[in-house]
């Protein structure tokens, strides 16, 4: 075996991102059925009478426990602990479902939750590709090769199909077939859109940052990709008349949580955003802060 292959075999032994849940079917059999009809309720916010300067109005309950400091790079801290901590602690995360093709035109479809919209003007998105033993993620390779993708939203009714596409299929195998999801044509990029998604965003790669200084033997490079939208597609009947707002009841977004958990939105609340000049007369605290501002 070559030195590189030995490194990959060793790296595979330490790589435990994909959790082995052997009795999952048994566990799930005990759970209640998914309620497809459940409406999304709107409640008051947690503290509707909140005043400026009040912090968390819980009589200090949220300040009782102290924090435990962690060095993510300490030699005794396994990488998997950072993975588990981050995916459970930064949650829920939207799932960007990426459709890409390689330069031969072979299609790929995979979910990524190190994903976010980062601006609207221009519309920009970010996706993080984790390092793994051996080769880089096929989606990353395709983005580097062709610079194009479609970002598709993930609704509750799609989650089994979407989750299935995260399988470590051999390079060139199309997850479209694995999932049974349907293709719709794109106009500004080659990869097809996911017909079942409420919202598709065609996009082109603007920037790539690879983390060479952090690469470990036998592991692929980790990278972050910045994508600029070139076209939007919104499913008819899911948005208002000028396509400026998608109905949450129709989108039914799924968020990724820690472990192998996903979350749905069953309840929301609202808080209006305020203007300084309108709020100052209503608050002694803001009046005193207003006096200290630089003229
Ligand atoms: C919901 C979900 C979110 C995921 N998020 C990420 C992510 O943000 N970054 C990443 O590198 N892998 C992520 N994965 C794992 C990839 O989807 C998985 O490695 C997949 O096989 C990559 O496919 P590809 O090699 O065809 O691109 C996620 C998996 C699931 C199920």
- Tens digit of pLDDT for each residue in 51-74? 999 999 999 999 999 999 999 999
Q: Is residue 23 assigned to a domain?
A: no
Give Cβ neighbours of residue 94 (< 8 Å, ≥ 6 apart): 113, 115, 116, 153, 154, 253, 255, 256
**Residue 62 within any structural domain of the chain:** no
What are the pLDDT digits (tens) for 107-153? 999 999 999 999 999 999 999 999 999 899 999 999 999 999 999 99
> Is 195 among the domain residues?
yes
| Mean pLDDT on 2-19 | 76
Give the pLDDT confidence score for residue 85 in this predicted structure: 98
Probe target for ligand 1 pocket from 110, 141, 164, with the most ligand atoms within 8 Å of CB: 110
Q: Is residue 289 part of a domain?
A: no
Note the pLDDT tens digit of each residue in 156-200: 999 999 999 999 888 878 899 999 999 999 999 999 999 999 999
**Ligand 1 centroid to 17 CA: how many Å?**
10
Q: How far is CA 36 from the centre of its chain?
A: 23
Ligand 1, atom 26, lies closest to the CA of 138
- Around ligand 1, the residues with Cβ closer than 6 Å are 95, 108, 110-115, 128-130, 137-139, 163, 166, 168, 256
| Residue 190 falls inside a structural domain | yes
Residue 137 belongs to domain with CATH number: 2.30.110.10
Structure-token pair, residue 158: 């799609």
Domain range for residue 232?
A: 3-15+35-51+77-269
The answer as to whether 292 is a domain residue is: no
Number of structural domains the chain divides into: 1
Domain contains 65: no
Instruction: Encode pLDDT of 205-260 as tens digits.
Output: 999 999 999 999 999 999 999 999 999 999 999 999 999 999 999 999 999 999 99
Give the pLDDT of residue 113: 98
- Indicate whether 294 belongs to any domain: no
pLDDT at residue 295, rounded to an integer:
64
Give the global pTM. Answer: 0.94
């Amino acid at each position: 075996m070559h030195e590189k292959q030995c490194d990959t075999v060793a790296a595979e032994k330490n790589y435990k991102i994909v959790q082995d849940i052997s009795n999952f079917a048994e566990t799930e059999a005990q759970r209640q059925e998914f309620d497809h009809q459940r409406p999304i309720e709107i409640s008051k916010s947690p503290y509707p009478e909140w005043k400026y300067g009040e912090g968390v109005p819980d009589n200090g309950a949220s300040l009782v426990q102290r924090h435990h400091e962690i060095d993510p790079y300490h030699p005794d801290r396994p990488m998997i602990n950072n993975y588990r901590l981050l995916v459970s602690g930064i949650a829920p995360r939207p799932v960007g479902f990426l459709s890409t093709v390689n330069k031969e035109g072979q299609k790929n479809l995979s979910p990524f939750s190190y994903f976010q919209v980062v601006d609207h003007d221009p519309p920009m998105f970010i996706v993080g590709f984790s390092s793994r033993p051996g080769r880089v993620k096929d989606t990353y390779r395709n983005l580097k090769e062709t610079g194009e993708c479609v970002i598709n939203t993930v609704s509750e009714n799609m989650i089994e199909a979407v989750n299935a596409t995260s399988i470590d299929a051999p390079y060139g195998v199309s997850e479209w077939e694995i999932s049974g999801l349907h293709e719709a044509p794109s106009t500004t990029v080659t990869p097809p859109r996911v017909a079942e998604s409420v919202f598709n965003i065609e996009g082109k790669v603007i920037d790539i940052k690879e983390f060479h200084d952090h690469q470990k033997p036998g592991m692929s490079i980790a990278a972050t990709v910045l994508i600029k939208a070139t076209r939007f597609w919104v499913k008819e009947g899911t948005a208002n008349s000028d396509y400026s707002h998608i109905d949450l009841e129709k989108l039914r977004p799924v968020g990724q949580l820690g472990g192998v958990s996903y979350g749905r939105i069953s309840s929301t609340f609202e808080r209006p955003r305020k203007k300084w000049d309108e709020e100052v007369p209503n608050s002694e605290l803001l009046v005193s802060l207003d006096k200290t501002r630089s003229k």
